[in-house]
Structure 1
Amino acid sequence: MIQSITDRSEHPFEWIDIVDPDQQELDELTRKYNLHSSSINDWLQVDHLPKYENVHNYIFIIFRLHADNVSDEADTVTELTDKVAIFMFDELVITLHKKEWLAPQHIKENQIKEHTCENTHQLVNEIIKSCIATYEAPSSKLTSDIEFYEENMFLKNRKPSLLKGLYYLRRQVEVTRRVLMLSHDIVDKIDSSELSNTYTRDTRDLYVKLHNIYDTLFENMNQLVMIYFSISSQRTNDIVRVLTVFSVFFMPLTFIVGIYGMNFEHMPELKWRLGYPGVMILMGAITVGIYIWFKRRGWL
């Protein structure tokens, strides 16, 4: 679907927004605006990462915004983000995207009508800023998810599903952080020394803020995974410690039982009247002795 967001009759530039174009629309677009085939091929790659490129008489940008609906087990670039392609001419901007996107109408109502966009560079700056802003809400959700896992790891019983959830959470943070890192060149070109102004610096500030947030989330996730394995190791050690204590108590008793279970013919203790109670008292004394020894060493 092709729609004209602005035209030259009311504004100093034209903005054409295209949603999920078919091959015929792409061919017509390529011929009409003399777009390079490499740009179209980059657009057709569903997992293409962010890029900024000068192509003939226009600038080609691919930016990835965070997807609206992300499942708990999403862990790839295509599952976590949506792609927007931007063709910036001197007096024309073309945006391509697969899914519905509310940013064009929002920018038209809040920036273009208020005349804060006077040329295509300022318009593209607003588009990039709106794309970067899509990472704010997911960062808050990831922060609350990390807090949830911390609470379950330290205050509640560890469940087998906890490690699976930690894996997907770490992947989401890692992939989103990598996409933001690869977007640095785009923000840098938009806010270059020759073109820098208040609006482009706002875009850079938002980018730096979110980049730092996702860096912190990534560090927290790495620490959380390490803590998970440390707690698992500690609990395993506690179980082994309990089993070791039980084995120490039963080892001498098993030794005594083994001796008197050999059934040799000449074993005088077998015919003693007090042989059985004597052995039971001996075994009880050994158990009490081991208990007292453990207590004094602080092992119980």
Structure 2
Amino acid sequence: MKKFETQLQNIRWVDLTTPKKSDLNHLSQELNIPNRVLLNALNPEHLPKYELLESAAVIYLRTIDYSKTDAANIQDLTTKITLLISNDSLITIHRMDHPFLEELRHEAVEKNYTLKDVIKSIITSSMMTFDAPLSALENRVEIFEESIFETSKSDNIVREGYFLKRKASAIRKVLKFSLDILASLQSRPDFVWRDFQGLRESIERNLFYTEDVLENVTGLLNLHISLSAQKTNEVMRVLTVFSIFFLPLNFLAGVYGMNFDYMPELHHEKGYFLVLGSMAAISIGIFIWVYRRGWLKRPN
């Protein structure tokens, strides 16, 4: 466990990186915070949330894990930061030592930050980590759009589209729950709505981008399905046209291939040529009929 501790203007800040249960048990006794509250911070399943307890307020944040760029669910794509706010202390618990937290630890000491400054900085920096992945996601959607019309990549299109939808959906969920945190913080006396106005606008803008990505990918997948269905229909159309030619010819061949004892045409000296002529006439007639119907033309 890596521990950083400093005294802010009005509160004590303890920052813990990858703590164990035994470390949290000791800290619970030292700071007089219920043990279950601290242990709950190790649960990786939490979504962003503001929770008000009897002895403390808890903020669960999610920030992008840059080591897992190909992840597509919340638990793998993001990592959790927990803020425990009591009357005389602020405890931050996280599994990764993010660069913005390391920078904040130095600034908090040099600039003599207050509790409000530290919370604002952590929340703002956490939300800013989504900017670069969203830009990369939008670029990837543009590449995905170009691949829709490339038949050589058709096998990977559905897999890629599903990945993009899952990733955009995970980011959208985190951003939506993060907006709820800002709304809950405004109810605290030490925060006003102007404190997070810029951050709220930034989150809403990123939320718009994620929803735009989801709509685009959904539309592109539907387009891919329509193109695939069109190609299938074209193949079936060609096969149907060919079957129209061969059905009557197969009927004639079947009739004269039954080998009954009494079939006068079989013994006619010109029977073979008459049947071939009939087949040719039928084929020409079908061709003219199909051509006038426009079934031989490729649809636009």
User: TM-score band, normalised by the shorter chain?
Assistant: 0.7 to 0.9
Partner of 2:165: 170
Other structure's SS at 2:149 match: helix
Post-superposition offset of 1:82: 0.4
Residues 134 and 49 of structure 1: CA distance in aligned 2, closer, same or farther (over 3 Å): same
Contact 1:86 1:96 in 2 (8 A): yes
Equivalent AA in structure 2 for residue 293 of structure 1: W
Contact 1:152 1:158 in 2 (8 A): yes
Say whether residues 1:254 and 2:250 are aligned partners.
yes
Contact 1:125 1:203 in 2 (8 A): no
Residues 285 and 114 of structure 1: CA distance in aligned 2, closer, same or farther (over 3 Å): farther
Post-superposition offset of 1:169: 2.2
Post-superposition offset of 1:61: 0.6
Equivalent AA in structure 2 for residue 248 of structure 1: I
Partner of 2:100: 103
Contact 1:91 1:119 in 2 (8 A): no
- Once the two structures are superposed, residues 170-222 of structure 1 have per-residue CA deviations (whole angstroms, 9 ceiling, x without a partner) of 22222221222222221213355962365521211111111111122222232
2-structure distance, mates of 1:280, 1:106 = 91
Equivalent of residue 127 in structure 2, options 118, 129, 132: 132
Contact 2:18 2:93 in 1 (8 A): yes
Say whether residues 1:27 and 2:25 are aligned partners.
yes
Equivalent of residue 153 in structure 1, options 148, 151, 155: 148
Say whether residues 1:266 and 2:275 are aligned partners.
no
Contact 2:48 2:61 in 1 (8 A): yes
Partner of 2:179: 184
Partner of 1:94: 91
2-structure distance, mates of 1:125, 1:19 = 20
Equivalent of residue 64 in structure 1, options 62, 65, 77: 62
Say whether residues 1:297 and 2:290 are aligned partners.
no
Other structure's SS at 2:41 match: helix
Post-superposition offset of 1:294: 1.9
Residues 114 and 154 of structure 1: CA distance in aligned 2, closer, same or farther (over 3 Å): farther
Partner of 2:48: 50
Post-superposition offset of 1:92: 3.8
Post-superposition offset of 1:71: 5.4
Equivalent AA in structure 2 for residue 107 of structure 1: L
Partner of 1:4: 4
Contact 2:57 2:85 in 1 (8 A): yes
2-structure distance, mates of 1:296, 1:114 = 87
Residues 133 and 264 of structure 1: CA distance in aligned 2, closer, same or farther (over 3 Å): same
Other structure's SS at 2:52 match: strand
Partner of 2:196: 200
Contact 1:149 1:162 in 2 (8 A): yes
5+ residue gaps in structure 2? none
Other structure's SS at 2:19 match: coil
Residues 173 and 245 of structure 1: CA distance in aligned 2, closer, same or farther (over 3 Å): same
Residues 53 and 144 of structure 1: CA distance in aligned 2, closer, same or farther (over 3 Å): same
| TM-score, normalised by the number of residues in structure 1 | 0.87
Contact 2:65 2:77 in 1 (8 A): yes
Contact 1:19 1:99 in 2 (8 A): yes
Contact 1:125 1:190 in 2 (8 A): no
**Alignment length, in residue pairs?**
295
Identity percentage over the alignment? 32
Root-mean-square deviation (Å): 2.6
Answer with 220-229 or 18-27: which moved more. 220-229
Residues 158 and 269 of structure 1: CA distance in aligned 2, closer, same or farther (over 3 Å): farther
Partner of 1:76: 73
Post-superposition offset of 1:89: 4.0
Partner of 1:120: 115
Equivalent AA in structure 1 for residue 263 of structure 2: M
1-structure distance, mates of 2:171, 2:277 = 69
